[in-house]
Chains A and B, each alone.
Chain A
Amino acid sequence: DAGVTQSPTHLIKTRGQQVTLRCSPKSGHDTVSWYQQALGQGPQFIFQYYEEEERQRGNFPDRFSGHQFPNYSSELNVNALLLGDSALYLCASSSSGGATEFFGPGTRLTVL
Chain B
Amino acid sequence: EDQVTQSPEALRLQEGESSSLNCSYTVSGLRGLFWYRQDPGKGPEFLFTLYSAGEEKEKERLKATLTKKESFLHITAPKPEDSATYLCAVQGEGKLIFGQGTELSVKP
Contacts and interface: CB of A to CB of B under 8 A. Distances in A.
B84 interface: no
Given A42-B87, A100-B34, A100-B49, A105 B96 contact: no
Contact of B100 (A4, A42, A100): A42
Contacts of A88: 41
Interface string A17-47: 0000000000000000101000011111100
B47 to A, nearest CB: 10
B95 A103 contact: no
A44 B2 CA distance: 13
Contacts, number: 61
B31 A106 contact: no
Contact of A99 (B42, B44, B91): B91
Interface in B10-47: 31-32, 34, 36, 41-46
A66 interface: no
A56 B95 contact: yes
Nearest to B88: A42
B106 interface: no
Nearest to B33: A99
Nearest to A90: B43
Interface of A: 4, 6, 33, 35, 40-45, 48, 55-56, 58, 88, 90, 92, 99-106, 108
